[in-house]
Amino acid sequence: MNTIHYILIAILVFIAFLILKRVSGKSSRNKLTLAQGSKRMPISPSEVMKRTSEMEKILEWCKKKHLTISGPEFWGTHHIFITDKLKHAVICLKSDFTTHVFMGDPVKAVEYRKYEKNFDISHSKQLEKGVLEWKIYDDYVLYQGNMLPPKEIKKEPYWGEVVQVEEFNQDITDEWLVQKIREFYNK
């Protein structure tokens, strides 16, 4: 395991600790209540901590994947593409035919792009750490960050369920993104 893996594991352990510390004693149930309607987060703080210790396996599993995610409500169904080098693209299609794309690494978004109906980029910016972060598992994805709607419990993540997993053997390029967005809207 290299230094980057150790840093990622340390960050995830710290975040899991903060989540566990924040919700301990607030409920006799071992689930977090989220501001996603009446849904509860399906992963308990102790499960998050357990999964953190398995990060190397999870990162290996993520390679070459196209994940279809349901939730959180403000994103609805969206897609995450992960290359064999762990480059990530989160694609959120909107009813007005605009598309929000977050490019990043295994733990965070580093760039945001908004594509208009004509598939031209109308907005693009580099993102600082803490703006949008994620933890991707084979069954759920947890999202946190300053760009997400505020929550009653600040450190509590939003979540989405992995509803489909497919192989993905391509690279994420500007041309590929436009082609993929076109495919989604033409379905």
Per-residue pLDDT, averaged over 69-78, amounts to 94
Closest listed residue to residue 56, CA positions, set 93, 105, 8, 115: 8
Give the three-class secondary structure for 41.
Answer: coil
- pLDDT 10s digits, 85-134: 999 999 999 999 999 999 999 999 999 999 999 999 999 999 999 999 99
Q: What angle do CA 51, 57, 59 make, to 5 degrees?
A: 95
Give the pLDDT confidence score for residue 153 in this predicted structure. 78
CA quadruple 168, 160, 77, 144: dihedral, nearest 10:
-90
| Per-residue pLDDT at 52 | 86
Higher-confidence residue of 98 and 41: namely 98
Select from 21, 2, 34, 19 the least CA-distant residue to 135. 19
Grouping H, G, I as helix, E, B as strand and the rest as coil, residue 81 is strand
